[in-house]
């Protein structure tokens, strides 16, 4: 949906084939819309709707580690409710782990159960997006002009055939598109098993004695798992970990494990969704074959730490979208699309390993020794705080070997899951700065490349002439950035917020610069 929305706003006709129906809610398993994804939704014009959905305004997004509702609370990672965010004009309220993040859009704890319908209804407002629900994708064939796609209507069984320039498989971990591409997944095939049940159970909300939590990590003698508030009232997602030595999922009783997790023997609930799943860390060998791409879970399957799987897929989409639009609108050579896999594949490897390392650290925290409770609380907090305030996953990654970036001598700063250092080194994300109390520099970025002119310096006419000759649109922005890491007068920034050049004077060969950024000469 994100890819379709961005392409449509760029003037591209898009068709979305989807097995589910329009009325079908999303899978509740993903429950975090990251700050970086919220920046994308801000750009698309749907951030306000996303932020307003899900939990009530006064419901905290704390993560609590405990042995059960009403039991011993080991530690609490305190995170704000929507009202606490609003005290700072929608930005991060002071006193929380993410209060000082450089972003106009803080993280939103919203379940995909609510997010998917929001995006679907928004997509319906675009005349150049054709939504085709209840269609099963069958196969594709490569043609001289692109791809020929065949599907089946679930309603009447009729065959559906489509012609397109490109096909993007966003069809999940069991991707039919990926399998037809002949691309394998490589990595760690089994890291744990989980039974996940979305339930309607108002009784759980009444179990909190004080400040409620969005995510409850529960471990006791009977079961370990997580209870997540979906609407803050009656919908809860209950993850129960299957013991490593269990022969199959059913070795953990589906119903009794819910009662053991919540700690109420006579608990009553209605099942809304249920899925048994295996945690994996797998990355596809390739993300592209010809005019066919894979994104999201079709391209990489994450260990579920930091809630970054869906968000990584959206980052994939925003990387691909502007390049694909540039080709279809005649602004760049088709070979510009080579940069997508060149950039995203290494980042997927890096970031997925960060998530896996954090999961292994959490799993091994119990050394088997008697440790004072205060020390346990400290250890659990230090291990887990980075996954709930994952600044590095959001803002730290950079592209260090891209054919669409003109590098200089500075090496981008390193990052980890919980921390990132702002930098204007080519390949890094443009650090956010506000233009006023409401507007962000990101709001001014153009659809392809933008030239930021800082400190009152000007060279837009020379830059723009070279881009006009190269048939690539250029947006020119005059701004003032006071932070110390803005050491250059000019920054060239891509639509996906990554810096591709910086300097204090015009490059010696502007024609060569534009040719590199468009993969086209003459």
Range of the domain at 485: 398-518
CATH number, domain with residue 500: 3.40.30.120
- The number of domains in the chain is 2
CATH number, domain with residue 41: 3.50.50.60
One domain for residues 20 and 122: yes
pLDDT value, residue 323: 98
Q: Is the residue at 179 inside a domain?
A: yes
> Which stretches in the chain have pLDDT values below 70?
87-92, 303-307, 352-371, 522
Predicted confidence (pLDDT) per residue in 457-510, tens digit: 988 788 999 999 999 999 999 999 989 999 999 999 999 999 999 999 999 999
One domain for residues 459 and 339: no
One domain for residues 26 and 164: yes
One domain for residues 344 and 411: no
Domain closes at, from 334, 353, 372: 353
One domain for residues 290 and 404: no
Q: Is the residue at 94 inside a domain?
A: no
Using only C-alpha atoms, the chain has a radius of gyration, in whole angstroms, of 24
Rounded to 5°, the CA angle 381-387-389 comes to: 90
Q: Of 384, 28, 29, give the one whose Cα is nearest residue 217.
A: 384
Q: Is the residue at 7 inside a domain?
A: yes
pLDDT value, residue 352: 66
Predicted confidence (pLDDT) per residue in 275-320, tens digit: 999 888 889 999 999 999 999 999 998 766 656 789 999 999 999 9
The SS3 assignment for 463 reads helix
Domain closes at, from 318, 353, 388: 353
Torsion of CA 355, 358, 359, 362, to 10 degrees: -160
Both tokens of 87, joined, read 């005290």
Answer yes or no: are the C-beta atoms of 360 and 353 closer than 8 Å: no
pTM to 2 decimals? 0.94
- Length in residues, the chain: 522
One domain for residues 418 and 308: no
One domain for residues 139 and 44: yes
Q: CA 475 to CA 444: how far, in whole Å?
A: 8
Answer yes or no: are the C-beta atoms of 132 and 160 closer than 8 Å: yes
Q: Is the residue at 239 inside a domain?
A: no
Q: CA 458 to CA 249: how far, in whole Å?
A: 64
Answer yes or no: are the C-beta atoms of 262 and 207 closer than 8 Å: yes
One domain for residues 322 and 405: no
Q: Is the residue at 388 inside a domain?
A: no
pLDDT value, residue 355: 63
For the chain, the straight-line distance linking the first and the last C-alpha, in angstroms and rounded, comes to 36
Predicted confidence (pLDDT) per residue in 414-425, tens digit: 998 899 999 999
Q: Residue 374 CB: number of other CB atoms within 10 A?
A: 9
Q: Residue 126 CB: number of other CB atoms within 10 A?
A: 16
Longest dimension (CA), the chain: 76
pLDDT value, residue 367: 44
One domain for residues 345 and 459: no
- Average pLDDT value for the chain: 91
List Cβ neighbours of 298 (8 Å cut-off, separation of 6 or more). 169, 170, 171, 172, 173, 175, 177, 178, 284
The SS3 assignment for 48 reads helix
């Amino acid at each position: 949906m994100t890819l379709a929305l961005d392409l449509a706003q760029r003037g591209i006709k898009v068709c979305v084939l989807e097995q589910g129906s329009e009325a079908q809610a999303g899978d509740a398993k993903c429950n975090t819309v990251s700050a970086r994804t919220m920046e994308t939704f801000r750009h698309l014009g749907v951030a306000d709707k996303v932020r307003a959905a899900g939990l009530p305004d006064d419901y905290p997004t704390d993560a609590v580690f405990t042995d059960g509702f009403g039991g011993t609370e080991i530690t609490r990672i305190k995170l704000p409710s929507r009202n606490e965010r609003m005290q700072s004009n929608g930005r991060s309220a002071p006193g929380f782990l993410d209060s000082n993040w450089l972003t106009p859009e803080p993280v939103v704890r919203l379940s995909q159960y609510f997010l998917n319908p929001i995006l679907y209804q928004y997509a319906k407002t675009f005349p150049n997006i054709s939504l085709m629900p209840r269609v099963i994708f069958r196969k594709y064939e490569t043609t001289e002009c692109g791809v020929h796609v065949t599907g089946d209507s679930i309603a009447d069984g009729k065959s559906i055939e489509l012609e397109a320039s490109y096909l993007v498989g966003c069809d999940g971990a069991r991707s039919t598109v990926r399998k037809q591409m002949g691309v394998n997944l490589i990595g760690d095939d089994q890291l744990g098993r989980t039974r996940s049940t979305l339930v309607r159970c108002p009784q759980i909300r009444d179990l909190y004695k004080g400040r409620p939590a969005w995510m409850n990590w529960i471990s006791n003698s009977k079961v370990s798992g997580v209870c997540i508030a979906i609407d803050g009232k009656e919908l809860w997602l209950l993850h129960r970990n299957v013991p490593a030595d269990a022969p199959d999922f059913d070795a953990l009783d589906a119903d009794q494990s819910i009662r053991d997790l919540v700690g109420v023997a006579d608990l009553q609930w209605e099942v809304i969704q249920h899925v048994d799943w295996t945690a994996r860390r797998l990355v596809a060998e390739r993300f592209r074959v010809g005019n066919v791409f894979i994104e999201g879970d079709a391209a990489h399957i994450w260990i579920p730490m930091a809630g970054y799987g869906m968000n990584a897929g959206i980052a994939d989409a925003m990387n691909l979208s502007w390049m694909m639009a540039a080709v279809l609108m005649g602004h760049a050579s088709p070979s510009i699309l080579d940069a997508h896999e060149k950039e995203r594949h290494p980042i997927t490897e890096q970031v997925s390993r960060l998530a896996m390392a954090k999961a292994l650290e959490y799993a091994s925290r119990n050394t088997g020794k008697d440790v004072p409770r205060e020390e346990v609380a400290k250890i659990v907090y230090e291990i887990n705080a980075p996954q709930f305030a994952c600044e590095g996953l959001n803002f730290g990654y950079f592209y260090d070997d891209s054919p669409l970036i003109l590098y200089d001598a500075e090496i981008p700063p390193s990052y980890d899951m919980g921390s990132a250092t702002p930098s204007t080194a080519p390949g890094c994300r443009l650090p956010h700065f506000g233009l006023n109390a409401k507007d962000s520099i990101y709001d001014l970025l153009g659809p392809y490349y933008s030239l930021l002119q800082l400190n009152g310096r000007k060279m837009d006419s020379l830059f723009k002439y070279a881009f006009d000759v190269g048939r690539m649109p250029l947006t020119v922005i005059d701004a003032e950035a006071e932070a110390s890491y803005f050491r250059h007068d000019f920054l060239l920034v891509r639509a996906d917020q990554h810096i591709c050049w910086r300097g204090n004077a015009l490059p010696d060969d502007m024609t060569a610069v534009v040719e590199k950024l468009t993969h086209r000469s003459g």
